Amino acid sequence: MAMDQLAMPMLLSTDSAAAVMVLLSVATLLVALNHMLSSRRRSSRRLPPSPPRLPVIGHLHLLRPPVHRTFHELASRLGAPLMHIRLGSTHCVVAGTADVARELIRDHDATISGRPVSVLSRLFSYGSAGFAFTPNSPHWRFLRRLCVSEVLGPRTVEQLRHVRRGSLASLLRAVRASAARGEAVDVTRELIRFSNTAIIRMVASDVGVTDEAQELVKAVTELLGAFNLEDYVPLCRGWDLQGLRRKATRVHRRFDAVLEQMIRHKEEARNRERRRGGGGTQEEKKVEGPPATCKQRNKDLLDILLDKAEDERAEVKLTRENMKAFIIDVVTAGSDSSAATVEWMLAELMNHPEALGKVRAEIDAVVGGDRRIVGEADLPRLPYLQATFKETLRLHPGAPIAHRQSTAEMVVRGFTVPPETAVFINLWAIGRDPSFWEEPLAFRPERFMPGGAAEGLGPRGGQQFQFMPFGSGRRGCPGMGLAQQSVPAVLAALVQCFDWAAADGGTAAIGMDESDVGLVCARKHPLVLRPTARLNPFPAVV
């Protein structure tokens, strides 16, 4: 009996060992079967073609600024209109032709309506309070509608034309003063100053534009365009090896103080208007003067945001952080890109004197020589100027890459694109695609004129995917209408009012190298020219 009692555990242990072996065998078979099925799934759901990559960093070692050129070169070597790359741990696909862009936007626009949120964009967006870097959501859709229909809608753009005209007057006076002294002008610096001043005054028309505000706008643009290892390599997260987060935190703190002052100033002005309108005391009315009505002044962008914040019936209640993030989005997106496009237009015309002569002759014919200075209202009667604007955008889109993120798996051109994949649409490469453009590297505005191959082609994206410098679909640029109004008018005034020559008096072509800093595709070197006034007497601008 005692032996039986001792033997039983031994028998049980043997049976357990046998059971474990059976379970291990079954588990091994299941793992092998799963691996086989996974391999079949991977073979049937192929990723797009990809260059060889390294462990951990993926293809980061292949990227060289400017990135849109690197993407184009890599895709050309692979012969792949849709290319897959890994930036650290992040899956990315790059669309480099109009056909692939058409399929992505036409068939998958909802799926790629997200935007990757980086460490720095999260900071400047106050988390997800803005619209430029906010994921697709009811909150984002409300802000998008607000931006397209009201903040940057046609009516607001028209109402604030006088603000842009006043900033243009300051630019022309500065250039005229340099011309009178026989001095060269750093056109790049003057255009950035003009663009920043115009957009900030459109946001808040009654505030002064300080040097600090201009400096902060430039700093934010450069930081958001910088490559940050933290966003792609998990091992680097939290370390701030490049010091970008520390710098961005300082810039954000300063910018927040400027925005807070701007909002408080506007709130105080609105409260004074309300009191003058009948809500204040008799003493306040005597001091502050006669009643004011909304019709006595046009609302600026901050007025519109504050109206929405105070609207109890609004679909989404705007917070102070929403307004600040909104202003940062508008200012950083609209300032440098506009300045860069005017600069590219002037540089291209300097390198193509025949085109410059056509633009100038057209302007003189429309406005009548030196009677007045050309303005936005004249644009419909200046088709060659408009063609020059389009040709410049084709070759030098302000944002050369449209950046999206997929929210679900999708199949494009027979290839599988996983969810949470960064989607890059190379607008720069699409604008130079020889499949759609004859002599794609040549600057020829005539292609957009009547009889030209691109006659009737506009920058609105839509179904014209070979020319979409402002992007397309749900994440297309909401400031397109403003750019189409303001940018050609600034270039027209500079060409009408001044003759331009190289600062050193030489005849060599102006360099067209691209900068590798910031979000915007700008020229690498400052455009320094010597102006000579064409109009005498010089007519008033406003």
Structure tokens at 441: 């590297």
Q: Is 477 annotated as a binding residue?
A: yes
For residues 326 and 50, give the distance between their C-alpha atoms in angstroms, rounded to a whole number.
37
For residues 465 and 37, give the distance between their C-alpha atoms in angstroms, rounded to a whole number.
38
For residues 299 and 293, give the distance between their C-alpha atoms in angstroms, rounded to a whole number.
11
**Sheet strands (E) in 28-130:** 82-87, 90-95
DSSP single-letter state for residue 538: P
Q: Using omega within 30 degrees of 0 as the cis cutoff, is the peptide bond preceding 234 cis?
A: no
H or E element in which residue 190 lies = helix 187-203
Structure tokens at 436: 């759609």
Nearest in space to 306 (alpha carbons), one of 280, 271, 352: 271
DSSP single-letter state for residue 279: I
CA 452, distance to chain mean position in Å, is 29
For residues 249 and 210, give the distance between their C-alpha atoms in angstroms, rounded to a whole number.
21
Nearest in space to 420 (alpha carbons), one of 436, 433, 408, 435: 408
H or E element in which residue 44 lies = helix 2-44
For residues 398 and 394, give the distance between their C-alpha atoms in angstroms, rounded to a whole number.
10
**Sheet strands (E) in 288-353:** none
Other residues' Cβ atoms within 10 Å of the Cβ of residue 214: 17
Other residues' Cβ atoms within 10 Å of the Cβ of residue 466: 18
Bridge partners, 412 (sequence order): 415
3-state SS class at 451: coil
For residues 289 and 299, give the distance between their C-alpha atoms in angstroms, rounded to a whole number.
20
Residue type for 256, please? D
Nearest in space to 356 (alpha carbons), one of 492, 507, 454: 492
DSSP 194-246: HHHHHHHHHH-TTS---HHHHHHHHHHHHHHTS--GGGT-GGGTTT-TTSHHH
Give the strand pairing for 415-417 and 410-412.
Answer: antiparallel
3-state SS class at 41: helix
Q: Binding site for heme: residue ranges? A: 477
Q: Binding site: residue ranges? A: 477
